[in-house]
Chain A
Amino acid sequence: MIDIIVTVCVLISLIFSILGVIGLFRFPDFYTRIHAAGLVGSFGILFMGAAVLIYAAGLFLSGEGAWLNFGAHILIALVVTVITGTTSTHAIARSAYRSGNRPDAKSDALKDDIESMKRREEKKR
């Protein structure tokens, strides 16, 4: 029973990761590709972690000792990937915009404000 649930979780994770990679090729410009990569970073990783957690629960039910090790490590890994994933996505998008990569978009609210914002930050430094 637990084997089936673990397999389903891994399959969902794989499906979303594959869709994310396909989106990397299909989407038009840099900023929209970030969203496709976010698909891998959120559901791809979360469901893989859920699969390991459920596997650890299965170990606990069958009375093996390694479940605590599995569960604790994957919990820490999930928290760390969530934090570093968001940080790196924001860092990539911010540095791309500041180095002159403009999105091909209908409305761009940042275009008017970026120069004054840069100047203010220069002054502070």
Chain B
Amino acid sequence: MKSIFPAILAGIAAFIIYLILSAGSALPNDGILLWSSAELIIGLILSIITGLICRKIWVGKSYRMANPLRWLLLIVYIIPFLIELIIANLTVAWKVITGRNIRPGIVKLTPGMKTDAGALLLSASITYQPGTASVDVDEESRELYVHCLDIGSDPAAVRQPGNIFSRIDLVKWIRRITE
């Protein structure tokens, strides 16, 4: 009985993804909005099966991220993330071309995230930017060990969580989203 809620959530997620993938399949004389009725029936059956299979894989303990306002903030978060991504890409591309200023090192980061979702989002953001990659995570204190392509002449300066990104303080954004 306890696993009924995760099963429904997984089923709904699978059904939404199926709907996106089969959008535009409506035939001229048969179909509801964008989808033909055959696709809808098959999608419903498949998503029920998916929900039943996934009911034990789901390990979510808190439903804090189920708030739609947080998802909206997560979509807004794409904008500062993309700005950071442009800067990081151009920096690494320039380092590839010139071959200078490559001073690698592993830096310990103590962002002080209170939730697992925050630590996940932060480490994923760090890893997706070229030039920084999170190598390991301390699961209890949520400290990140980040490998940087260029730690600069003063390694202690990078250790502040705000300095891992070049311009915008994404740590503050992530805290606003997940806490």
A residues at B contact (CB < 8 Å): 16, 19-20, 22-23, 26-29, 31-32, 34-36, 38-39, 41-43, 46, 65-66, 68-69, 72-73, 75-76, 82-83, 85-87, 89-90, 93-94, 97-98, 103-111, 113-114, 117, 120-121
Instruction: List residues of B (114-161) whose CB comes within 8 Å of A's CBs.
Output: 123-124, 127-136, 138-140, 145, 147, 149, 151, 155
Q: In the bound complex, how far is the Cα of B132 from the Cα of A68, in angstroms?
A: 36
Task: Determine whether the beta carbon of A76 is less than 8 Å from that of B133.
Answer: no
Whether A38 contacts B130 by the Cβ 8 Å rule is yes
Chain A residues positioned under 8 Å from B131 (CB to CB): 35, 38
- Tell whether, in the assembled complex, residue A26 and residue B93 are in contact, meaning their CB atoms are under 8 Å apart: no
**At the interface, is chain A mostly helix, strand, loop or mixed?**
helix
> What's the minimum C-beta distance from A93 to chain B, rounded to whole angstroms?
5
Q: With contacts A43-B85, A94-B136 known, what are 18 further pairs, Cβ within 8 A? A: A23-B92, A29-B104, A32-B104, A35-B130, A36-B92, A36-B130, A38-B133, A66-B24, A69-B23, A72-B20, A73-B21, A90-B124, A97-B135, A105-B106, A106-B151, A109-B107, A117-B138, A121-B139
Q: Is B102 an interface residue, CB under 8 A from the partner?
A: yes
Q: Which of B25-80 contact A (CB under 8 A)?
A: 34
Q: Given the complex, which residues of A lie within 8 Å of B134, measured CB to CB?
A: 90, 93
- How many residues from B make CB contacts under 8 Å with A? 42
Q: A42-B129, A72-B21, A93-B133 are in contact. Are A31 and B155 (CB under 8 A)?
A: no
| B residues whose Cβ falls under 8 Å from a Cβ of A | 17, 20-21, 23-24, 34, 85, 88-89, 92-93, 95-97, 99, 102-108, 123-124, 127-136, 138-140, 145, 147, 149, 151, 155
By a CB distance below 8 angstroms, the chain B residues around A29 are 104
Q: How far is the CA of A82 from the CA of B9 in the complex (A)?
A: 22
Main secondary structure of the interface of B (DSSP, over half): mixed
A82, B131: Cα distance in complex, Å:
16
Return the contact of B24 from the options A27, A65, A110, A114 (Cβ within 8 A).
A65
CB distance from A57 to the nearest CB of B (A): 15
- Whether A35 lies near B133 (C-beta < 8 A) is yes
Most chain A beta-carbon neighbours within 10 Å: one of B130, B131, B145:
B130
Chain A residues with Cβ below 8 Å from B136 are 94, 97-98, 110, 114, 117
